[in-house]
Structure 1
Amino acid sequence: MKLVTQHTRRIKEEAKRLGFLSCGISRAEFLEEEAPRLEKWLKQGMQGEMRYMENHFDKRLDPRRLVDGAKSVISLLLNYYPSEEQVPDTYKISKYAYGQDYHQVIKAKLRELHAFISREIGEVNGRAFVDSAPVLDKVWAARSGLGWIGKHSNLLTQQVGSFYFIAELIIDLELEYDTPVTDHCGSCTACIDACPTEAIIQPYVVDGSKCISYLTIELRDEIPTSFRGKMDDWAFGCDVCQDVCPWNRFSKPHSEPLFNPHPDLLGMSKKDWEEITEEVFQKVFKGSAVKRTKFKGLKRNISFLNSSD
């Protein structure tokens, strides 16, 4: 037991050294409570065109199907809250997309953490996950005591709010496990009241097919005209439910240089966005998550917003 405690402490210390905001650990097991919730959400079609959400149902609920002999899920948070934001009265993108694509930044840190574990503790089998595999990251983070899942379905912490990425390292090493924290949303409905498209249909339930992030990133077809005038000038993603959350009063700027925006981004006016060329798009969003929607998709979003004015 002493060795397990020592291993756990060293892993958390290394995670902190690598720049992670916090690190929590939970036992790798079947997510019994989540199974009926996920099934109901999918049956009601709230995933929209995100068909991949329907795949690998069993793997989403049991990490041992992703990593043979998995014993621990190490959950990690990485802050992305910016020190500066876009100018007022412009087309907006989510803060998480200001800098370099987080997948690459976090994967590199996770590889370092895995290498540290293998080097310092012994050969450990495992896999790193960053929002790109069938892993219910917010659920694992909550089980690991890193926060609670708020009414807007994002992970929340009393200390720093919700502007951070969640990642996992699932390994076949037994460690000490953390316990969940209590929900501190109380009677607050700020996120529900503020959602421009009424995507938060009830506390803790988000209809993904109505979410602005889905409409501007995941949706490949034309944005339905029923959302005209409801998009609040969001051209890529949406931060409204996080911006209005009282717990985000405690957000502090990140210290990751790779998340700093291109110098031209924050000052772009509506006219700049409307006249953006593919050349400017490639320059400003080089290596950015905005590339997911491609130039054509961004132009579609801006055109839709422009027609709503």
Structure 2
Amino acid sequence: MLATDHNLIALANTIKAWGRELGFADIRISDVDLAQQEAGFQAWLELGYHGEMDYMAAHGMKRARPAELVPGTIRAIVARMDYLPREYQGDDGQWRQREQARLEKAAADTATVSLYARGRDYHKVLRSRLQQLADRIKDEIGEFGYRVFTDSAPVMEVALAQKAGLGWRGKHTLLLNREAGSFFFLGEILTDLPLPLDAPISSHCGQCSACIDVCPTKAIVGPYRLDARRCISYLTIELKGSIPLELRPLIGNRVYGCDDCQLFCPWNKFAQPSTLGDFDVRNGLDRATLVELFGWTEAQFNSRMEGSPIRRIGYQRWLRNMAVGLGNAAAADVSTPEIVAALRARIDDPSELVREHVEWALLQHGAA
């Protein structure tokens, strides 16, 4: 079937149509030459900006060389899947104002969970649907070489997506799309099929620096350069130990991830809700209070976070993050008996990590 360019073009168009049927907002195709990314990536590692994310350096330059990761690879089928909850459909962008208000002092006792983590674990959703897409291709043309990826291996997803024309890299280092902002996931099928390439698009950030200016911890140290060690997403998800004292007050009520650089990006007025129920909010994570979530037992955490990306940080880090949020409520003039009582109830927690952050939080409330 693949003897002619015409057949390859037809197959590429068919793959894109199948992708839309499977819930992907867009699918494009790129080559896998990422040589231009290597120097910048190496410099980022040498500066230590990856922090404790040792896996970023573990594979050397294989991250920028997909053909070394999957021998025979010459193309990447790159998919985009929107993840805003379906309830945001048709609200004329008011969700951005609501999310921004969640970060203000008046909402200091409310837990802010990153939008992507309020529903089902995206790894499972994208991997399953990318595998279904690969199966359809195999049914159509027979056996072919491929491997599916969803933030699960050393793959430069944003670089491949940019080459494929799915968007451009914003100054916050995330991919931006003129019709969809940046609230979407990326996934790839690395393959040996010589499919026709899609063209990249130009950048449209211009002189805007909204993402840099709004970052609470100043983790975006320059355009297109992120010091992950200061990023709230890193601190609340990737960091295994104690959150640095000087950064705790800057975290506010953000207890899992941070969306600030996206929420204040002008392009996200075009962000699109998902067509899938998988990313609908679970467990009231769009309105829960810090005290409520801090009161969960380990059994409740494991049960309620089943199938959620949050479960991977474990119960101790969950409590650590909540304690920081509760401590920061004091700086927002929210110091209630309920908050102090919740913290004191965990002052003898079995985990040293939790105890340390609880003691710090109580100190903020003058209740140590």
The question of a shared fold, defined as TM-score above 0.5 by the shorter chain, is answered with yes
Identity %: 38
Deviations 1:271-309 (CA, angstroms, capped at 9, x unpaired): 212322223323432210001111111100111222233
Residue among 20, 29, 37 paired with 1:25: 29
Equivalent residue for 1:68, pick from 68, 71, 85:
71
- Give the number of the structure whose residues are more often helix, by fraction: 2
Q: Map residues 259-270 of structure 1 onto 2, 5 A cutoff.
A: 259-270=279-290
Gapped runs of 5+ residues in structure 2? 89-94, 331-368
Amino acid at match of 2:238: E
TM-score (norm 2): 0.81
Corresponding residue SS for 2:250: coil
Larger radius of gyration: 2
Question: Which secondary structure does the structure 2 equivalent of 1:33 belong to?
Answer: helix
Distance 2:132 2:293 in 1: 38
CA distance in 2, matches of 1:305, 1:128: 37
State the shift of 1:228 in Å.
2.3
* Secondary structure of 2:221's aligned partner: strand
Q: Is the 8 A contact 1:7 1:121 kept in 2?
A: no
- 1:80 corresponds to 2:100: no
Query: Residues of 2 paired with 1:8 and 1:168: CA distance?
Result: 14
**Cα pair 1:64 1:70 within 8 Å, conserved:** yes
1:165 aligned onto 2:185? yes
Secondary structure in structure 1 of the residue aligned to 2:204: coil
Q: Which residue of 2 aligns with 1:178?
A: 198
Please tell me whether the aligned partners of residues 111 and 128 of structure 1 are also in contact (alpha carbons under 8 angstroms).
yes
- The aligned residue for residue 8 of structure 1 is 12
1:48 aligned to which of 51, 63, 79: 51
| 1:129 to partner: Cα distance | 0.4
Of 125, 130, 135, the residue aligned with 1:105 is 125
- Map of 2:111 onto structure 1: 91
Instruction: Please give the alpha-carbon distance, in whole angstroms, between the structure 1 residues aligned to 2:14 and 2:55.
Output: 36
Partner SS state of residue 75, structure 1: strand
Q: CA deviation at 1:259?
A: 1.4
Partner SS for 1:223: coil
Deviations 1:9-60 (CA, angstroms, capped at 9, x unpaired):
111111111110111101123x111000000000000000001101112320
How far residue 255 of structure 1 moved from its aligned partner, in angstroms, is 1.5
Instruction: Name which of 265, 276, 291 aligns with 1:245.
Output: 265
Q: Which residue of 1 aligns with 2:150?
A: 130
- For the Cα contact (< 8 Å) 1:242–1:248, is it kept in 2? yes
- In structure 1, the gaps of 5 or more residues are none
Task: Name the SS of the counterpart of 1:135 in structure 2.
Answer: coil
Asked if 2 retains the 8 angstrom alpha-carbon contact of 1:77 and 1:164, the reply is: yes
Tell me the secondary structure at the aligned position of residue 35 of structure 2.
coil
Note if contact 2:290-2:322 (Cα within 8 Å) is conserved in structure 1.
no
Contact residue 75 and residue 166 of structure 1 kept, 8 A = yes
Partner SS for 1:222? coil
Give 1:140's aligned residue.
Answer: 160
Give me the TM-score of the superposition, normalised by structure 1.
Answer: 0.96
Task: Tell me by how many angstroms 1:66 deviates.
Answer: 1.7
Report if aligned partners of 2:62, 2:154 keep a CA contact under 8 Å in 1.
yes
1:263 deviates by 4.6
Asked if structure 2 preserves the Cα contact closer than 8 Å seen for 1:67 and 1:172, the reply is no
Of residues 260, 278, 291, the one that matches 2:298 is: 278
Deviation at 1:232, TM superposition (A): 2.7
Letter in 1 for 2:197: Y
Q: 1:207 aligns with which of 227, 252, 258?
A: 227
1:150 counterpart residue number:
170
> Which runs of 4 or more aligned residues in structure 1 lie more than 4 Å from their structure 2 counterparts after TM superposition?
84-87
